[in-house]
Amino acid sequence: MKKYLLAGCILISLFAFRNNAWDKNRSAEIKTAISKSLSLLQSSSHIFLINAPVVATCHSCHNNALSLVTFSIAKENGFSVSDTIIKEAIDSTMNWWNSEIYQQALPENDDPIATVMFGNYDLWGLSAIGYKSNKSVELLARNIMRKQTFDGSWVSPGQRPPLEYYSFSATALSVKNMQVYMPSILHNEVEQRMEAARSWLLHNKPDANEEKVFQLLGLIWSHADKTIIEQFGKKLLAAQHGNGGWSQLDSLPTDAYATGQCLYALNQAGLLMITSPAYQKGVDFLLRTQYPDGSWKVTTRSYPFQSPVNGGFPHEKDQFISAAGSNWATMALIPASK
How would you class 256 by CB atoms within 10 Å of its CB: exposed for 0-12, middle for 13-18, buried for 19 or more?
buried
Assigned domain for 223 exists: yes
pLDDT classification of 58: cutoffs 50, 70, 90: confident
Please tell me the distance from the alpha carbon of residue 260 to that of residue 286, in angstroms, as a whole number.
8
Q: With helix as H, strand as E and coil as C, how does 68-96 read? A: HHHHHHHHHCCCCCCHHHHHHHHHHHHHH
Q: Which pLDDT value is given to residue 10?
A: 47
Assigned domain for 316 exists: yes
Confidence (pTM): 0.92
> What is the percent of the chain where pLDDT is above 70?
91
Please tell me the distance from the alpha carbon of residue 45 to that of residue 82, in angstroms, as a whole number.
11
CATH number for the domain that contains residue 139: 1.50.10.20
Bridge partners for 255 per DSSP = 246
Assigned domain for 15 exists: no
Q: Which pLDDT value is given to residue 113?
A: 65
Q: Which pLDDT value is given to residue 12?
A: 46
Assigned domain for 17 exists: no
pLDDT classification of 309: cutoffs 50, 70, 90: confident
> What is the percent of the chain where pLDDT is above 90?
80
CB atoms under 10 Å from CB of 215, counted, come to 26
For residue 160, give the 3-state DSSP assignment. Answer: strand
Assigned domain for 187 exists: yes
Q: Which pLDDT value is given to residue 1?
A: 52
Listed range (9-18, 144-153, 328-337) with the worst mean pLDDT: 9-18
* 224 Rama class: left (phi>0) / alpha (psi -120 to 50) / beta: beta
Is 80 exceeded by the pLDDT of residue 313? Answer: yes
Condensed to tens digits (0 to 9), the pLDDT of residues 155-174 reads: 998 889 999 999 999 999 99
Per the structure, the count of domains in the chain is 1
Is 80 exceeded by the pLDDT of residue 7? Answer: no
CB-side exposure of 226: number of CA atoms within 13 Å? 3
Assigned domain for 71 exists: yes
Assigned domain for 5 exists: no
Please tell me the distance from the alpha carbon of residue 94 to that of residue 112, in angstroms, as a whole number.
16
Task: Residue 244: give the domain boundaries.
Answer: 26-337
Assigned domain for 19 exists: no
